Structure 1
Amino acid sequence: MKTAEAQRSPLRSWQFRRVVGSEFISSVGNQMTVLALPWFVLMTTDSPSRTGLVFLIQILPVPLLGMPAGLLVARWGPRRVTIVADIGAAVLIAAVPMLHQAGLLSFGLLLTLVALLGSCSACYLSAQRVLVVDVVGSHEGTVTEANALFETATSTARLIGPAVAGVLISQVGALNVLWIDAATFAVSAVLLTGLPRREAPPKPVSANNMIEGVRFLFRDRVLRTISLAALGYGTLMPVVMLSLPVMAKSRYDADPHVAGWLLAAWGGGTALGTLVVARLARRIAPTRMAAGGAAGAAAVLWLLPLDQPALTAALTVGASCMFLPAVTAPATTLITLRPPEELRANVVPVFGVAVFIASPLAYGAAGLLFEHIAVGKVLAGVAAGASLCALVLVNLARRSPDSSS
């Protein structure tokens, strides 16, 4: 007989609706800033290298501070850390237009603000998945569904945010778009203040807890395998992402519309996949779902190296991305639920740090690959790598179908 926790949809919880609403609102604003801030730097400095440096400085704190942020989450709790990070991000983003208008914004000061903003992101990423478990409970199916719905909010924001920012930048300017993003983080913090506090204070934590969290991750066969596969996809999929404009240039007469279609297919496929995962989360064990998603993604990725019309290329990109949430949502569920509660906030950041380190390295390597190797050959290598990841996850599902061993 199913428990009440297993039967209840996360969307029926007002607490989870607030968490998802907070994520969607702040993500839309953040995606607007992803376009507005580089545009502001490029227009004011006329320097692509300085624009790239802003990106680098913003992302560096995430892997560097991921483990200390986990300690903070374990000590303060995910709710408080997320609220403080939202408030900090709102203040830091608002400071950019405020200081610029006052004539006080040097490039060095901008980099400092951006680095602090990246530090807020590190805290937020360490807290968000633990916060989901806090509000929906610890049933695997419920948490997988909640993670999929959470990713739906994020992927939808990735579709809406840049498009809205493009229109607003042309109408009101990049600085005013940053004001809007600051407001979205403030609204996010307000939504989370209504969540109840933990019934019991968190246990004292130290660096030893973080070390034990790393040890647990490597000792547990399921988590070790899931982490290895996730690291593989964190390395491979950025190569696919970077290949899209390269394909548009080399295969489709440098048509920017095709580049836009391919990027839209990426976001649309991911959003659709999260909705499918949310519907299936209670029926399929996480390890089986991850294996199925990995096998589907790998099979479709073998079609991408082929010369084909732009429409079918976009459909192929969308189809491959549609399978990815079936890997990421159950992987996040297992990473969150399998550790003991006292180690949960220490294991989750280790997983996130590994993926965040892999992604920028993959982008850098992909740029070099595409300069010397045809895009089709690189994508064939990606498909082979994805197939190996799928085999690892299929083997895991065969050995522990219920993810409990």
Structure 2
Amino acid sequence: MTSAAEAPSPLRSWRFRRVIAAEFTSSVGTQMTTLALPWFVLMTSGSPARMGLVFLIQILPVPLLAMPAGLLVARWGARRVTIAGDLASALLTAAVPTLYVAGMLPFWALLVIVALIGCVTSAYLSAQRLLLTESIGDDEGVVTAGNALFETATSTARLVGPGVAGFLIARFGALNVLWVDAASFALSAVLLVGLPRTPPATEPTSSHHMAEGVRWLLRDRVLRTLALAALGYGMLMPIVMLALPVLAKNRYDADPHVAGWLLAAWGGGTALGTVVVARLAHRFPPVRLAAAGGVGAAAGLWCLPWDQPVTTLTVTVAAGCMFLPAVTAPAVALMMLRPPEHLRPHVVPVFGAAVFVASPIAYGVAGVLFEHLAVSTVLTAVAVGASLCALLLLCLARRPHQTPVTAAAPPGRQPAEPA
């Protein structure tokens, strides 16, 4: 591994800078929609359950289509899939306000649109991470730092997007904000067009490769444990995300500005955390970073259930989210580097599915819970679950480092070096 003093910054790669710019552009629009769409559903229907259903339908295709998405990325290449996903997302997002203005947006039609967006996302997420790796190489420290910077772009968008969305919603209405999201996807596609083409895998990809990727993931102790922790966080964090607009409605007089501040605090805390992780990536093993992040995130979540002024709640959300990148960036780096190169397009979506398979359940259950239980009770249960995930990561960090499981390389390729 490259030493900390010699490790090059991912920002030296113009390809990496282009990928980061595209990610930030599309994420700003997406984070505005993350507030605007559920706020529209919540305020027009008055039902947290319907709001949760919108989240559920949008995220449900991601775990269901994770394996076919891996095949698509392997055959088309990460760059082509990402550009196609940006353009499709732009069209689908613009369809929501267009149909609403035309008086042709019943609730079932909205669910169909968000389900299609979820279908696009299933391939987009896998391609996006592989595109990141293609731009900076295979050094573990560099990739961890690159993922942290990638998360910096995303979390900075979480800081900017909701705050701007809260301002725009109060003046122009929630659905009009979706036009900005559609434009951001189109601009992201334009930014990626200039990247060099990376040829897809020459050997045919099939269900055999997908099954091999699943077997590889299950045999590797590090990724198996991280996937289990990811499953837990995938269940817990959507509940927290859904709780923020509910808190704004129930405790703070249904003020969209408060909802925007809370979501912006989530993004701001995460952005600060990603900067720290990017600087620490070459100094600490990824597993130890993930364990430290899990402990800090759990501690922050224990502060959320208490009734408090909006100012302290905003600070609490930001402080707790500072530790999330220390979990996600190392986990994603190991996910991309530990498998042999020919299995990465199949291991990556399976690992991602560990998060997203729990999210639809979480969104659906959370909406019902918030209608029948106090928000503080639900958030206390979330803090307990996060503590268990942190314990799992601590146990992994205390055990000796384990090299990846050897997997047979396809004909004409050399086996991958252990990470």
Q: Normalising by structure 2, report the TM-score.
A: 0.83
Map 1:189-228 onto structure 2 (within 5 A). 189-198=189-198, 201-228=201-228
Counterpart residue identity of residue 121, structure 1: T
Per the alignment, residue 184 of structure 1 pairs with 184
Q: Please say if 1:267 is aligned against 2:267.
A: yes
Identify which range, 10-19 or 48-57, moves more after superposition.
48-57
Q: Please say if 1:145 is aligned against 2:148.
A: no
Among all aligned residue pairs of Structure 1 and Structure 2, give the percentage whose two residues are the same amino acid.
67
Work out the CA distance in 2 between the residues paired with 1:181 and 1:126: 21
Matched-pair contact (CA < 8 Å) for 2:62–2:118 = yes
Map 1:229-244 onto structure 2 (within 5 A). 229-244=229-244
Work out the CA distance in 2 between the residues paired with 1:54 and 1:384: 26
- Over residues 308-347 of structure 1, what are the superposed CA-to-partner deviations in whole Å (9 max), with x where a residue is unaligned? 6654444333222111110011011111111111111111
Per the alignment, residue 291 of structure 1 pairs with 291
The CA deviation at 1:239 is 3.3
SS of the residue aligned with 1:7? coil
Work out the CA distance in 2 between the residues paired with 1:41 and 1:237: 21
Identify which range, 125-134 or 363-372, moves more after superposition.
363-372
Matched-pair contact (CA < 8 Å) for 2:291–2:393 = yes
Work out the CA distance in 1 between the residues paired with 2:384 and 2:42: 38
Counterpart residue identity of residue 299, structure 2: A
- Over residues 219-258 of structure 1, what are the superposed CA-to-partner deviations in whole Å (9 max), with x where a residue is unaligned? 10000001111111222223334444666678x6768476
Work out the CA distance in 2 between the residues paired with 1:150 and 1:337: 16
Matched-pair contact (CA < 8 Å) for 2:32–2:162 = yes
- Over residues 113-158 of structure 1, what are the superposed CA-to-partner deviations in whole Å (9 max), with x where a residue is unaligned? 4433222111111211111111111111111111111111112222
Identify which range, 384-393 or 324-333, moves more after superposition.
384-393
Which has a greater percent of helix? 1
Alpha carbons of structure 1 residues 382 and 282: separation in structure 2 relative to 1, 3 Å: same
Per the alignment, residue 384 of structure 1 pairs with 384
- Over residues 272-317 of structure 1, what are the superposed CA-to-partner deviations in whole Å (9 max), with x where a residue is unaligned? 1111111111111101111111122223434445566654444333
Map 1:41-80 onto structure 2 (within 5 A). 54-80=54-80
Counterpart residue identity of residue 155, structure 1: S
Map 1:148-167 onto structure 2 (within 5 A). 148-167=148-167
Work out the CA distance in 1 between the residues paired with 2:244 and 2:37: 23
The CA deviation at 1:27 is 1.4
Per the alignment, residue 396 of structure 2 pairs with 396
Matched-pair contact (CA < 8 Å) for 2:222–2:402 = no
Per the alignment, residue 352 of structure 2 pairs with 352
Matched-pair contact (CA < 8 Å) for 1:97–1:175 = yes
SS of the residue aligned with 2:322? helix
The CA deviation at 1:166 is 4.2
Work out the CA distance in 2 between the residues paired with 1:254 and 1:167: 16
Work out the CA distance in 2 between the residues paired with 1:259 and 1:99: 26
Counterpart residue identity of residue 78, structure 2: P
Per the alignment, residue 331 of structure 2 pairs with 331
Work out the CA distance in 2 between the residues paired with 1:168 and 1:121: 26
SS of the residue aligned with 1:117? helix
Work out the CA distance in 1 between the residues paired with 2:32 and 2:254: 24
Work out the CA distance in 1 between the residues paired with 2:31 and 2:261: 18
Please list every run of 5 or more consecutive structure 2 residues that lacks an aligned counterpart in the other structure: 406-419
Q: How many residues align?
A: 403
Q: Normalising by structure 1, report the TM-score.
A: 0.85
Work out the CA distance in 1 between the residues paired with 2:107 and 2:252: 38
The CA deviation at 1:177 is 4.0
Map 1:122-141 onto structure 2 (within 5 A). 122-141=122-141
Please list every run of 5 or more consecutive structure 1 residues that lacks an aligned counterpart in the other structure: none
Alpha carbons of structure 1 residues 90 and 229: separation in structure 2 relative to 1, 3 Å: same
The CA deviation at 1:361 is 1.6
